[in-house]
Amino acid sequence: RTVYVNGRYVPESEASVSVFDRGFLFADGIYEVTAVLKGRLVDFEGHAARLHRSLNELNMHLSLNDNALRDIHRQLIDKNALQEGLVYLQVTRGAADRDFAYPEAQTPATVVAFTQQKAIIDSPLAERGLKVISLPDMRWGRRDIKTVQLLYPSMAKMEAKKRGADDAWLVESGLVTEGSSSNAWIVDHDNTLITRELSRSLLHGITRRTVMQLAKAHDMKVEERGFTIKEAQNAREAFMTSATSLVYPVVSIDQRPVGEGQPGEITRALRRLYIEASLEAMDA
Ligand code: PLP
């Protein structure tokens, strides 16, 4: 693979960052993952806007504007002949002597980007649906910032796998916040879509926003509020959204089947609508 590091495109074997990088020492960095379908970026604007929000919230400075960022993404897609998968972009506060206090503002950020192939449209998980378990949400209080501090979600995923499931939904004060790397949704018996309202407790998913717009455009009702694991288990359908899974059905929660225990009709329809809309709105 050809990867991007601080202004240069290099073979992955030649790419390096400093051992003093604050991303490495303090998880002092943020990232974005943008899906690629048919060699084109899906909703790059949304991901770029969230990147800037994360940078602002952490007082990090990046000297690249959106056109430059888009160009990096496109060049990586071209150089790696990527048809379907993702572009990962990471920005950290750069390298400096180890100190909890931030280094001087002129310390250049470290910018790294690479591609990864992934079958997104024809994903077996979309057909089979996911089994999830619930776990307490033990992450920090600013989950709206997309930081590289991902140890708890990794632990949650491992715990899910250990228990024969695919993923975990995280619960705080009795209500589901989100999945370990996705937003969580249910469909009630009136076919209303329910997903938690935005706050600092969860990531403001780009896919969540698009799915919500599509649902409303197709006259589906959407309610933004928290729900319990019990309500989710008793729902008609459950699903999750993220940039590279798009819309994945959830067929069981803590070993209890949701609905028929099969991917639901509305979930399938939303996945289809999302794919159609993404291919239509394709970045030129
Ligand atoms: N929630 C968390 C914790 C995530 O890591 C992600 C990203 O994968 C999402 C939600 C979904 O966000 P998006 O749709 O922007 O990929």
Continuous segment of H or E residues that includes residue 240:
strand 237-242
Q: Which pLDDT tens digits describe the chain residue by residue (284 residues)?
A: 999 999 999 999 999 999 999 999 999 999 999 999 999 999 999 999 999 999 999 999 999 999 999 999 999 999 999 999 999 999 999 999 999 999 998 999 999 999 999 999 999 999 999 999 999 999 999 999 999 999 999 999 999 999 999 999 999 999 999 999 999 999 999 999 999 999 999 999 999 999 999 999 999 999 999 999 999 999 999 999 999 999 999 999 999 999 999 999 999 999 999 999 999 987 55
Is the C-beta atom of 210 inside 6 A of ligand 1?
no
Q: Which ligand 1 atom lies nearest to the CA of residue 150?
A: 5
Output the CA angle 202-208-211, nearest 5 degrees.
165
Active site residues: 146
Burial of 151 (C-beta count, 10 Å sphere; 0-12/13-18/19+): exposed
Task: Name the 3-class secondary structure at 4.
Answer: strand
The contacts of residue 217 (CB under 8 Å, 6+ apart) are none
| All domains of the chain in start order, with CATH | 2-117 (3.30.470.10), 124-280 (3.20.10.10)
DSSP string, 172-210: ETTEEEEESSSEEEEE-TT--EEEPPPSTTS---HHHHH
Burial of 22 (C-beta count, 10 Å sphere; 0-12/13-18/19+): buried
Assess: ipTM above 0.95. yes
Is the C-beta atom of 206 inside 6 A of ligand 1?
yes
Is the C-beta atom of 177 inside 6 A of ligand 1?
no
Ligand 1 centroid – CA 144 distance (Å): 10
Q: Taking a C-beta distance cutoff of 8 angstroms, is the pair 8, 113 a contact?
A: no
